A and B are shown apart, each in its own frame.
Chain A
Amino acid sequence: MNDHPVSMTVNGRPVTVTVPSRESLADSLRYRLRLTGTKVGCEQGVCGSCTVIVDGKLTRSCLMLSVQAENAAVWTIEGLSQDDALSPIQEEFRVHGALQCGFCTPGMVVTALVLLSGRSEPPSREEIREGLSGNICRCTGYGPIVDAVYAASRHDLTLPYGMSESGKSSFVTLDSSDPGPWSLPGDTPPAEPETSDRARTGRGRGSRRGGLGRLKDMFRGGRPVGSGPGDE
């Protein structure tokens, strides 16, 4: 059980790699797909140099197994600048001296991109410092990086290759609320909350049937969320 084919899209292109279950997404990107722009600095998720975008979300690729990336849309630093042109964020990094050795740079740029995308208002310098605080840089003292991201945020950001026509990112979604039919009162009635068959049927029954059983009953009654007392 140790050679898993994993199909995903990477920088907009479909790929399939066959990997042992223990191989990290970082290692697969770097060694199988030769996308060595993503770096590995700690394998603990602390330094941020392995940061990529998976299904629109910032991800520490050293803490994700490749097998977990089945059907995922992955974007790395290589996907951010197409042909010879640098994206606006990369250009601002250059202008502001936001890199010296360059090892943290791919992770910083990817993090900055997600930090800036989809916001209604540009962030303050403090917000930028906070947004970047999960990415270690050992060379610059961070000042120039904050300057670069601040300058980038004032642009009308042309988001890189892969954007859908509507202008909404086809790969970066910052809506951190999980979609779900239970989200709010007034939404369409939800599907039933699933419990395992065994829990439902009580096969090899344990201590109590518990609240989930009750939940199921309520939904069988077709009661939509928000129809209880106290909800508007």
Chain B
Amino acid sequence: MKPPVFDYYRAASVDEALDVLDEREGARVIAGGQSLIPLMNLRLARPEALVDIGRLEHLRRVGVVDGSLYLGGLVTHATLCGHPAILRHAPLLAEAASHIGHQAIRERGTIGGSLAHGDPAAELIACCSALGASVYLESSSGCREVPAREFVQGPYSTAASHNEIVTWIRIPLADDRRVGFYEVAPRPGDFARVGAVWCSEPENDKSTVALFGSDCGHMSIELGGDGRAADVLDAVRASGRVQGGLVRVVEAAVKRSMPTEFHE
């Protein structure tokens, strides 16, 4: 299908983008468009206007400052897969991003877009939760920082207001971090049905397991430093989100994503 009619603004600065969002209630941000345009091509998303922030080059930057890795919201999945700073400081993101669609999708899809879209199957959302990342939202009222774990509130529903843009993601670095990733998808590159991300920081005596997937949605489970897979599975069962044969699949994902030092 073809999308319905909409107006198009190409923002030359974040300010310009925020102006349009403030002025037009029916306006939405577009970056890579790899999630939004498919919906518009089904006429399921029908924004009256699109504000294209794709030319805001400064939001494509990646850098380490003061113990945190900063990613601009426009950093693409392809960049996550290969950028030296990512491979060095947050290889989990590289692993996760390599499961997103295929090369062409990864070249345009962005981490900011993934967060803002809030898909239950989004790997990067789970990674950000597990890593204890935070999301910077800019609006005309200012800039605020929201912990990633609190950012996604339900399927396709996030803490961002209509007139806010995801501009940066901050990932605190940790030397001793141990991470693991596993996803179950019908075919490689498909939306995950069930997936798990482990992140443990022994020095801080804590671990986080973040689940994702179209069959179970986003769920974060905090464990102590010696967290076990069994604890994770207990928490999952207790949540009531996963039933029947799916439990076995979640179990497999949790165990297979577990960093090797861990115990079942």
Interface residues of A (CB under 8 A from B): 1-2, 4, 20-22, 24, 43-45, 48, 51, 57-60, 62-65, 67-68, 70, 111, 114-115, 130-131, 133-134, 176-178, 180-185, 190-191, 193-199, 202-215, 218, 225-226, 228-231
Contacts and interface: CB of A to CB of B under 8 A. Distances in A.
Contacts of B40: 22
Q: Sort A-B residue pairs by CB-CB distance and give the 4 closest, nearest first.
A: A134-B102, A182-B63, A21-B8, A206-B142
B186 interface: no
Contacts of A177: 79, 82-84
Interface residues on B, range: 35 or more
A225 B64 contact: yes
Contact of A63 (B37, B64, B103): B37
Given A22-B2, A177-B84, A190-B63, A67 B10 contact: yes
B7 interface: yes
25 contacts: A1-B7, A22-B40, A24-B37, A44-B42, A59-B104, A59-B108, A63-B105, A65-B50, A67-B8, A134-B102, A176-B107, A177-B79, A180-B61, A181-B61, A182-B61, A183-B84, A183-B85, A196-B13, A204-B141, A204-B142, A205-B141, A207-B142, A210-B136, A211-B145, A228-B64
A191 B167 CA distance: 17
A182 B63 CA distance: 5
Given A51-B104, A183-B83, A63 B62 contact: no
A68 B64 contact: no
B259 interface: no
Contacts of B52: 67-68
A29 B38 CA distance: 19
Contacts of A178: 60-62, 75-76, 79, 83
Interface in B1-49: 1-8, 10, 13-15, 18, 30, 33-34, 37-38, 40-42
A195 B168 CA distance: 10
B15 A58 contact: no
Interface stretch (B65-73, B195-203, B209-217, B239-247): B65-73
Contacts of A62: 37, 41
A46 to B, nearest CB: 8
B155 interface: no
Given A45-B101, A68-B52, A225-B65, 14 more contacts: A22-B5, A48-B102, A58-B104, A63-B108, A64-B37, A131-B103, A178-B60, A178-B62, A198-B142, A204-B140, A205-B141, A210-B145, A211-B134, A211-B168
B105 A176 contact: no
Interface of B: 1-8, 10, 13-15, 18, 30, 33-34, 37-38, 40-42, 50, 52, 54, 58, 60-68, 70, 75-76, 78-79, 81-85, 101-105, 107-108, 134, 136, 138-145, 167-168, 170, 173, 175, 187-189
Contacts of A60: 34, 104-105, 108
B138 A199 contact: yes
Contacts of A176: 78-79, 81-83, 107
Contact of A198 (B33, B85, B140): B140
A1 B144 contact: no
Given A2-B5, A22-B6, A111 B103 contact: yes
A194 B140 CA distance: 14
B37 to A, nearest CB: 5
Nearest to B63: A182
A170 B129 CA distance: 40
A180 B60 contact: yes
B8 A59 contact: no
Given A63-B37, A133-B102, A177-B82, A198 B8 contact: no
B7 A184 contact: no
Nearest to B190: A46
B50 A21 contact: yes
B164 to A, nearest CB: 9
Interface centre among B42, B83, B104, B170 (most CB of A within 10 A): B104
A4 B68 CA distance: 41
A182 B255 CA distance: 36
A85 B151 CA distance: 54
